[in-house]
Amino acid sequence: MSQISEELRAQIRIQANHQCGYCLSLQKYVLGILEIEHIIPRAAGSTDDAAEVNW
């Protein structure tokens, strides 16, 4: 399970305009909650630190 904080999840959703990063569907048209994923896996050196996220 992801350790991404709720605060960072909210920042990501706002920055993404509440859209899927892959297909750009808006959250309001998707039946489930859009997941927050790492583009670079943590196993490959990614981080959950918002200060290190390259917006």
Higher pLDDT, 47 or 27: 27
Contacts of 5 (CB under 8 A, 6+ apart): 48
pLDDT score of 54: 55
pLDDT score of 40: 67
In sequence order, what are the beta bridge partners of 26? 19
* Whether pLDDT at 34 is above 80: yes
Judged by average pLDDT, the poorest of 11-15, 22-26, 39-43 is 39-43
Specify the amino acid at residue 21.
G
* Whether pLDDT at 50 is above 70: no
* Whether pLDDT at 51 is above 80: no
Q: What is the mean pLDDT of the chain?
A: 80
What is the per-residue burial (b if ≥16 Cβ within 10 Å, else e) of 17-50?
A: eebeeeeeeeeeeeeeebeeeeeeeeeeeeeeee
